Amino acid sequence: MENQPKPKNYLVESILVTLFCCLIFGILGIVNATKVNSEYEAGNYEAAVKASNEAKKWTKWGAIIGGAILVIYIILMVAGVATGIAGY
């Protein structure tokens, strides 16, 4: 390892996605995020970069899907209130 910078592990982002958005994708992100540090410390820079990219991918997809579900939920609630189906 020739002074290569440690890849970002996306652990915080993965935990937030797990808690607030999409459990499955968040867990996949956490699993890969934890691999980044161990692979880097073992001298496997390429494996650390791959784990970082995987953590980023799963975290990003979890956030996108969670956001899409939230938007659909808001649209359905507004439509329900507007049509009188879900009144207050």
Residue with tokens 């995020």: 33
Residue with tokens 């990219």: 53
Q: Which residues have a Cβ under 8 Å from the Cβ of 77 and sit 6 or more positions away?
A: 86
Q: Is residue 2 part of a domain?
A: no
Going by pLDDT thresholds of 50, 70 and 90, the confidence category of residue 88 is low
Residue 22: per-residue pLDDT? 87
Q: Is residue 24 part of a domain?
A: yes
Q: Is residue 5 part of a domain?
A: no
Q: Which residues have a Cβ under 8 Å from the Cβ of 58 and sit 6 or more positions away?
A: 14, 25, 26, 28, 29, 32
- Domain of 50 in residue numbering reads as 11-83
Q: Is residue 6 part of a domain?
A: no
Q: Is residue 59 part of a domain?
A: yes
pLDDT single digits (tens) 45-77? 999 999 999 999 999 999 999 999 999 999 999
User: Using CA atoms, how far apart are residues 46 and 40, in angstroms rounded to an integer?
Assistant: 8
CA 46 centroid distance within chain: 21
Residue 81: per-residue pLDDT? 87
pLDDT single digits (tens) 8-52? 999 999 999 999 988 999 999 999 999 999 999 999 999 999 999
